[in-house]
Structure 1
Amino acid sequence: MNRQTPLRSPAALLLCCALLMGALSGVLAFVGQAHAVTPTGKFTLEPGTGSIKAPLSATSASTDAGCPETSNPTAMFLWLLKPGSATVGKQLAKSSSADTISKTAPFTVPLTPGTATVETQLRSYVAEGSLDGKYSLALACGAGLTNNVPAFSAIVQITGETWTLVRTQTTTVALDGPATPVGGSLKLTATLTPDTAVGSVAFAYTGATNDSEPVPVGTADVANGKAEITVTAPATAGNHFYSATFTPADPDAFSTSTAVKPVQITTPDQSPTPTPTPTDTSPTPTVPADLEVTDENGTVLEAGPNLEAGQKVKITARGYTKDAKVLVTLADSEEKYTDAVADADGTVTDYAFTVPEKIADGDHTLTLAEDKADGHSVAFAFTTGAGSDPSDEPDPSASETGSDTGGGTDGGTSGDTGTAGGTGGSGGGTGGGGSMAATGAQVGSVGLAALALLCAGAALVVHVRRKGLLTFGDTPNHL
């Protein structure tokens, strides 16, 4: 019968346990260096570039959010991640102060770099050859020695001996689609800003009230800042919503963006709803639609304004051929004016015109005519000098005054008494036919003539009584 061989010594058992514990410690140590980080947001470095021949030269890091509430960081650690992995790799720097770390808002922390150069840390993963390429960084809310440590991310580009932070440009997308009959071909256009963004746009239908689960309708690549797709319009009329989501080819260079647009779907015999004509109770402008004139203060002048010699105005005339040469002339004037040129819309804008210093009072016309046969022409009419006022009546003419005077004289000559002379004066005034202002002057003239005749009549009576040629009953023939 075989007997079991006894243990040679308790020391051998202890030695085996020690070896097992050592191996287990090595495994745990390796696992501790490979803990993954949980993305929390993004961060930037200042300055955002430096040399790989020195330790990281960034002096601060700024986040776009706070650390998660579940974390309790007393410091922030900046790690170089293993290429192609989300595991913590080589430490590049750590925060030198915990005062600014926040759990509720973006924050900026000062950094203290490690002693190893950026190149040395990179060579831990790329032993030979060029280091050119993109590498991931993680700014961890804590030392990163526990599983799934929350961290902010960033990308650096290595080119030669220089590292540069890759900054993501924010994009916006605008979606447009014209009114389309039911079942017709609807063209959707997405316009990207900036127009240098590269990627694709996914279009989707989100229902008549924009609360339905998006239904993909197609994808198009962005070219020159635009992506277009043609789909079949819905079978019911009304507003229908579509969305456009931009996905960048390089998410480190550009951000994603989304837009939603209602598109009007019409019945086959229905035209798109026209824009209602606004009710305008204001007076119809007196300035022609193809002409606008402003003074030096930018005030728009009415048609046919009264201008002063030397006054400066700016003229905008429309309706010309694209890029047409426009000749400028002032009627009955030898002044020479610089030709104008219409723009792409056929408009001459803010042509500077100065009224000549030596210009006669009256009506004038400045013509802006296209330099070709039957070309478009715009006339700017204006006046100079004192304008006529309809409320001011002219003074009585010499003929009217003469008529009044003649009337009074005739009455005095033909009448035997003062009464007859007064009547003659009145007749002369009536014959003049003057205005109200002239009538006042005539009344004064008639009054003076009547007074003169009255005095003459009284003198005649006194004279004939003294001569005894005129008696009144028994009254003596003297005064």
Structure 2
Amino acid sequence: MNWRKAVGACAAALIAAGGSALVATSATADVLGTIEADRDGGTVTDNPFAVLTTSGKCPGFGLLVLDKAADPVEIPSDPSRWIAPFSAGDGDTQHTITPGKSMAEARSDLSDGMWELRALCATDDGSAIAGHFALPIRITGQDWEVVQVQATTTELAVTPAGPVEEGTEITLTATVTPAEAAGTVSFRAGGTALGEAEVSGGTATLTTSELPAGKHALTAEFTPDDPERYSSSSAEEVPLTVTAAAGGDEDPPGPVFSVVDADGNELGPDPELAPGQTITITAPGFDADETVNLKLTTEPYGDPAPDPAQSPAPSASPSASPSPEPTPPPAPQQPLVREFEAVVADARGVLELEFTVPEDLVDGDHLLTMTGADSGTVKEFAFHTGKRPATQTPPPDDRNGPGTGNGGAVGGGGSGGNLAKTGAALSGIVATGALLTAAGYGLMRSGSHRRMLRFGETGGTEQ
């Protein structure tokens, strides 16, 4: 069908004759803007039923049609359904359309419900639909009315304001404006759904005592029952801090820093681990859903110092050659550092981490450092692999020490970690090539995401 020629026959004064053909087939068309009517309603037999103005301008000519709101955007194949062709002058920025027939004349199948007046725009060459302007209306019997989508706002109030102790009943109240807007409010704490409540008289309320200890960002989102009349809206986040509930003398509040082996046995400070061994670390004290960066620092053992008892005694003969100068002890080796892909604490601010000792890890003292990207909280776990030389001083047990950031790290820790506190000079030099062997693989898995992390992945470095 040559739409342009057909429109030209109907409105030769508005549209030049000839041109490309616009095929009248179903098509998806972008919404270019809205249509404003000079009245809020009328009857379906009025002719003209309104004077319409688009919020913008079509690239070329256009055609006004009436379709059910759920119908696809398409050019009617039956010209009797065309309400009015339209065009605009070069200086115009919008279209003013005066319908040439009533709604009842354009659609013999009118029924009660949601309909849409559409100003379909042709492309410059008239070969396709470039988009359309729309005006939603509701038809009831012989009457029609413009459906105005009214903007809504949602505000959230939380009582008590906090900080509150874990287990305390929290009341979340969402206020929706205008109060006449009916619908449902969904309440969330970060990415966790707390529940829904119907809006009544402009408010919706939810109570909960299930928020775990940690920092939470509470939100509320309004979904209207009638999206043709009211828009959806979201409230700004309301922060709330929940503290751990106080327990008995023998029950510490909330999770505590702990390290267990694959059988669930708790490990003491600075345990000796074997390559390939898997442990689970529970590290509380981070912010809710906080990104935690991981770093493993290794200080390799040096070669043992020579035993003076095994050295030959110097000769007492005056004619003996002078003893050679003693060989100075080797300089301590530089620590090796590996960084790994970050993991995420859970909604309580607790990091549950499965750690597998890398197969290629050299014997030495090791410090796994977990640092909160936002809070700066630092948790540390010290361990060693291989038999520690007799001249090597084990790291001190700072399990209950002040730590860094929020503290509580196994192996204690100022910012320097345990490896800087050994206080013993390392002797001997392990060949650098042997220390920097091809990167093996260790595995870490974040308990909040339950996915395995491979040592040496993107972000991992060893220096």
TM-score by length of 1: 0.40
Larger radius of gyration: 1
Q: Which has the higher contact order (CA 8 A, sep 6+)?
A: 2
TM-score by length of 2: 0.41
* Structure with the higher helix share, 1 or 2: 1
